[in-house]
Amino acid sequence: MMPLPKLSRMVVANTLRSRRHFILSAFGIVIGIATFVLFLASTEQVGAVLEKIFPVDQVQVVAPRASLAGLDVTKKLDDSIVKTILARPEVKSALPRMALSFPAAGRGDFEGNDLKFEVGGFADGIDPSFIKEDHDPRTAELFKDWDSDPSDTQHRVACQAAPPSPDGEIIQSPRPRPRNYKPPEPKAVPPGVPGMPVVAPEPEYFNPCPDPDRYYCDDTDHMCHHRVPIVMSPTMIELYNGQFAKSHGLPVADADFVKFVTQRGGLSAMRFSIGLGSTTIAGSNTSIRARPRRVEGVLVGLSQKAMPIGMTVPIQYIERWNREYLGAEAATTYSSIIVTLKDKTQIAPFAQWLQDTQDLRLEDSLGEKFATVLFVVRLVLVLISLIIIGISAINIAHNFFMQVTERRRELGLLRAIGATQRDVQLVVLGEAGLIGLSGGVLGVGFGILMAKGVDYMSNHYLPRFPYKPETWFHFSWWIWTGGLVCAAGFAVLGGFLPARRASKMEPAQALTQN
């Protein structure tokens, strides 16, 4: 076989000599590879967005609702069920969720707006280790049960709690005392009336805790506590951006949550009050065991692990609150169990086992259905592009058959000056491969250009909607590498028979024929 550098030089020289032949052969490859990478990159991106909305590697185990003579006899999801599930060989992890099962209401301040919202029914708890899987160190550091953290005891100092609101409403989270704060001067009441008594105004209550950006004074034990860390689902942000912000004239939240929070003065800007046992809903008749009280929460990050509509806190808080307001039963009953399987293909047997032996079922997963649809769509699109590339390979074969016939004398000459049959075959295959590779590079470039065009159109002309991505394409390394390999591979395949014919050509005849 001829030396590789010499083969490469000859292949390059032969390929570059005929622009017409190059364009004719490479055109189909360029189009085929452009569609190939474009389709793959778009389905990859859509898949990534879908996976954000519906994590497909996890399933949610729930107990089917059941009642008997008006009594709720739904199977209880507790630690024993979690252990049983964990013992299954196909299960990688099982983490329970616990819903806040009694009324609670929230009050916060956002962009100067007094926001009141219902928390009961829209909050649950998960184990902090579940959030660690997100690999967001900032959120992972803050999302924990601060009240049972022994390293946090030095912050738990005595304080005077905020006085209750005279109208009985949950108060806003008190602000820290400003550095240059001056108490208001005593004034005559009513002002400007001589002879009336001078009265000092009611002093404003400030957060008295040493680190007021993170701690608040609890009105039950009169001690400073770290605010309850809360994570929210990106779905909430998308809903806020898509509907709420627009209708209320509020700013659109940045996808980069840390940036968004920093712009608003840091973590403490995301704090709000939670009135446990309070509600904004008139006529609520839930019986609770404890009197309403106020705690403070702080939004520490976004996580796909949070409940889609609502807020999620470390499960230990929910357990304590459920025990305090509803009793031990509520503190040991989970709303669902998030199960991660070792292999996605084990979903069906696992679901069957749940139903047959545990009387439990998997929550209907839209994600799985979408993933299936996406898989089929991707398959169809890839098939279409492979057909285009296949046709271009046939085109290459046709062009090279013509080339081999036109270049009979040249190929015969190569044999006469020392080329073996294999050398001739390699030269022709190399030319086909180079055309394929060049077509592949141009095709990938063309595909990326088209993607940029689509993104430009999308960003400028498509209205915003939940989960609208910045780009519709994700060009993973394997996509463009696959595109190049596919281009070169199909081209070599197309060049195979012509190369074989060229190598089998009788040099003596080739040299004498016109």
Give the residues lining the site for another protein (CB under 8 A). 2-3, 5-7, 9-10, 13-14, 17, 409-410, 412-423, 506-508, 511-512
3-state SS class at 62 = strand
Inter-axis angle of helices 477-504 and 421-461, to 10 degrees?
150
Alpha helices in 54-170 (DSSP H): 79-86, 128-132, 137-142
User: Which lies closer to another protein via its Cβ, residue 3 or residue 192?
Assistant: 3
Cβ-in-10-Å burial (0-12, 13-18, 19+) of 93 comes to middle
Contact 453, 34 (CB under 8 A): no
User: Which lies closer to another protein via its Cβ, residue 7 or residue 82?
Assistant: 7
User: Which lies closer to another protein via its Cβ, residue 9 or residue 246?
Assistant: 9
User: Which lies closer to another protein via its Cβ, residue 129 or residue 420?
Assistant: 420
CA angle 476, 478, 480 (to 5 degrees): 80
Q: Rounded to whole angstroms, how far apart are CA atoms 238 and 233?
A: 9
User: Which lies closer to another protein via its Cβ, residue 188 or residue 508?
Assistant: 508
Q: How far is the CB of 438 from another protein (least distance, A)?
A: 17
Q: How far is the CB of 487 from another protein (least distance, A)?
A: 24
Q: Rounded to whole angstroms, how far apart are CA atoms 241 and 348?
A: 37
User: Which lies closer to another protein via its Cβ, residue 17 or residue 135?
Assistant: 17
| Cβ neighbours around 330 below 10 Å, total | 20
Q: How far is the CB of 400 from another protein (least distance, A)?
A: 17
Provide the Cα torsion 128, 130, 133, 135; round to 10°: -30
User: Which lies closer to another protein via its Cβ, residue 4 or residue 373?
Assistant: 4
Q: Rounded to whole angstroms, how far apart are CA atoms 510 and 79?
A: 83
Give all strands (DSSP E) within 132-211, no chain letters: 187-188, 198-199
Q: Rounded to whole angstroms, how far apart are CA atoms 93 and 79?
A: 13
Q: How far is the CB of 9 from another protein (least distance, A)?
A: 7
Q: How far is the CB of 500 from another protein (least distance, A)?
A: 14
Q: How far is the CB of 507 from another protein (least distance, A)?
A: 4
Query: Which two three-digit tokens encode residue 486?
Result: 């596919």
* Gyration radius of the chain over CA positions: 34
Q: How far is the CB of 11 from another protein (least distance, A)?
A: 10
